[in-house]
Amino acid sequence: MEEITDGVNNKNLDSASQKKNRIRVSNTKKPLFFFVNLAKRYMQQYNDVELSALGMAIANVVTVAEILKINGFAVEKKILTSTVGIKDDSRGRPVPKAKMEITLGKSEKFDELMTAATEEKEAEEDQVQS
């Protein structure tokens, strides 16, 4: 039974690495606004972004999505929840972990907001230099 689960997990990881617009949100590696800004860049490039998280990082993925929605950058397209078996070497068998995927698309105001943010940043840089 373990082999089947491992094969499914490996297949999921392979397909995940092939998706160019997927961001795997963690709860320890980067600050939240790293993921917020990365999601904005992905939406500029691909028009939508898929935010993905496992276990304890699910709270972070929801927070990132809500920040983007509340500030008018994104609209919610799809939310998927599932359980995946993660191999635990100490137990020798797969351990179930919750998984959440949130797909966001550009809002109607996205380009306008991004332009305003860029102009604001340039103005701040000009003030610092003078």
Closest residue by Cα to residue 43 from 78, 79, 80, 74: 74
3-state helix, strand, coil in the chain (%, to 5): 50, 30, 20
Tens digits of residue pLDDT in 43-97: 999 999 999 999 999 999 999 999 999 999 999 999 999 999 988 778 778 889 9
Give the separation between CA 31 and CA 48, rounded to whole angstroms: 21
pTM assigned to the model: 0.78
Give the separation between CA 14 and CA 30, rounded to whole angstroms: 23
Give the separation between CA 21 and CA 68, rounded to whole angstroms: 16
Q: How far is CA 51 from CA 73, 95, 113, 122, in A?
A: 14, 22, 21, 29
Q: Per the structure, how many domains does the chain have?
A: 1
At 31, which CATH number? Answer: 3.30.110.20
Tens digits of residue pLDDT in 15-32: 444 578 999 999 888 999
Q: 114: domain range?
A: 2-129
